[in-house]
A and B are shown apart, each in its own frame.
Chain A
Amino acid sequence: MAHIAIPEGLPGISGGFAFRPETAKPMRELANILLHESNSLTMGERELIATYVSSRNDCYFCQTSHGAAAAAHLGGDDVVQRVRTDFESAPVTAKLKALLAIAGKVQQDGKLVTAEDVERARREGASDIEIHDTVLIAAAFCMYNRYVDGLGTWQPRDPSMYAQMGQHLAEHGYLKSSR
């Protein structure tokens, strides 16, 4: 049961959003700009960063729903699973590996990101905006994950629900509720 009286039947962050629409609005807009609006990083790549950080924060709802969104963009779940377990050996670009290394540092503490980490990303072709967005996606999921877990939200174990949600997020983005 959730720690506060959030509307029933709404899984994960949608419960928090329904409870407090005033904060839901900027949180949805931020997710939409970072993950869904046009960007030189593909939506699939950005969802992989979000999934990887949520997995390191051990947030079941976020890693499953964003993993499903990534799988919807990428046409399958295989790359998502491999990025979660060991991204350095996953079939993704060298640039994305360098960005995932930065995201992993930010997940622990922003101060761990070194000039060498950023240099590696740049060498693999990352622009300043892509490095900025990687840092902010990783930081933002340290918020979303804590929000979802800190309220004790309902996080069902139902693969078909997440597959449907991932498909919806991949197609329509984050501005409106999928339910």
Chain B
Amino acid sequence: MPHIALPEGQFGIRGALAFRPETARPLNELADFLLHAPNSLSAGDRELIATYVSYLNDCHFCQSIHGAIAAAHLDGDEELVRRVKADFQYAAISEKLKALLVIASKVQRGGKNVTVEDVAHARELGATDVEIHDTVLIAAAFCMYNRYVDGLATVQPHDQAMYRERGKMVARDGYVSVSKTYLPAEPVRG
């Protein structure tokens, strides 16, 4: 049971977001920009970073939903998502993404763990400064989202079909657009 009176029937972060729509707005805008907006890193690559950090933080809801969104971007390849979580160095992903996942995993433990060598390695494999920035911020942001979801003891179902369905919807429409289905309607202005 959640620690506070979250709206019933909303799972994971959606319960917390619907409880406090004021903070929901910037939280969804940040996720939308980092994971869904156009970027030189594909949406699939960015969702894999989010999934991997959520897995390291042991957040069931976040790793399940972002794993499902990643798979939706990757032609339904759930096996690739599993391999990235199990040992990304042996997964069928680019060397650049591997170098970015190393940086993300350092940020998950603490930002000061990222070394000049980690960054130089990512750059040698073609990562740009914006891509390195966004990797650091995706990893940092999921250290927030994961703690938010777990710290309120939100309801986190074990239902692969539900995550798969929602994953497809978020991959297609993005975070801000989907949030309109579970947030209270914004007051009409003007």
Same complex for A and B? Answer yes
* Binary CB contact string for chain B from 90 to 111 against chain A (1 if under 8 A, 0 otherwise): 0000000000000100111011
| Alpha-carbon distance A147/B140, docked complex (angstroms) | 6
**Given contacts A5-B129, A26-B33, A150-B140, are A113 and B112 in contact (CB under 8 A)?**
no
**Given contacts A30-B27, A113-B3, are A150 and B144 in contact (CB under 8 A)?**
no
Inter-chain contact total with CB atoms closer than 8 Å: 151
Asked whether B45 is an interface residue with its Cβ less than 8 Å from the other chain, the reply is no
| Alpha-carbon distance A62/B145, docked complex (angstroms) | 19
Q: Please indicate the chain B residues that have their CB under 8 angstroms from the CB of A170 in the complex.
A: none
User: B26 and A4: CB pair below 8 A?
Assistant: no
| Alpha-carbon distance A129/B19, docked complex (angstroms) | 9
Q: Please indicate the chain B residues that have their CB under 8 angstroms from the CB of A37 in the complex.
A: 22
User: A149 and B30: CB pair below 8 A?
Assistant: no
Asked whether B188 is an interface residue with its Cβ less than 8 Å from the other chain, the reply is no
Asked whether B161 is an interface residue with its Cβ less than 8 Å from the other chain, the reply is no
Count of A interface residues, CB-CB < 8 Å: 50
Q: Please indicate the chain A residues that have their CB under 8 angstroms from the CB of B23 in the complex.
A: 30, 33-34, 136
- With beta carbons under 8 angstroms apart, the residue of B4, B37, B59, B112 that contacts A128 is B4
- With beta carbons under 8 angstroms apart, the residue of B20, B22, B144 that contacts A140 is B144
Minimum C-beta distance from A58 to chain B (A): 7
Chain A interface SS verdict (over half): helix
User: A115 and B3: CB pair below 8 A?
Assistant: yes
- Of the candidate stretches A42-50, A79-87, A103-111, the one touching chain B is A103-111
Chain B interface SS verdict (over half): helix
User: A149 and B151: CB pair below 8 A?
Assistant: no
User: A132 and B147: CB pair below 8 A?
Assistant: no
The residue of chain A having its C-beta at the shortest distance from the C-beta of B34 within the complex is A23
Q: Please indicate the chain A residues that have their CB under 8 angstroms from the CB of B132 in the complex.
A: 3-4
- With beta carbons under 8 angstroms apart, the residue of A20, A128, A129, A146 that contacts B140 is A146
User: B111 and A147: CB pair below 8 A?
Assistant: yes
User: B114 and A23: CB pair below 8 A?
Assistant: no
Q: Please indicate the chain B residues that have their CB under 8 angstroms from the CB of A111 in the complex.
A: 58, 150-151
User: A136 and B148: CB pair below 8 A?
Assistant: yes
User: B143 and A142: CB pair below 8 A?
Assistant: yes
User: A132 and B16: CB pair below 8 A?
Assistant: yes
User: A26 and B30: CB pair below 8 A?
Assistant: yes
- Give the contacts of B56-102 with A (CB-CB under 8 A): 57-59
The contact sample of 18 A-B pairs, CB cut-off 8 A, is A3-B114, A4-B132, A20-B137, A26-B26, A30-B23, A33-B26, A34-B23, A37-B22, A57-B110, A58-B112, A109-B147, A115-B3, A132-B16, A132-B20, A136-B23, A142-B147, A147-B140, A152-B114
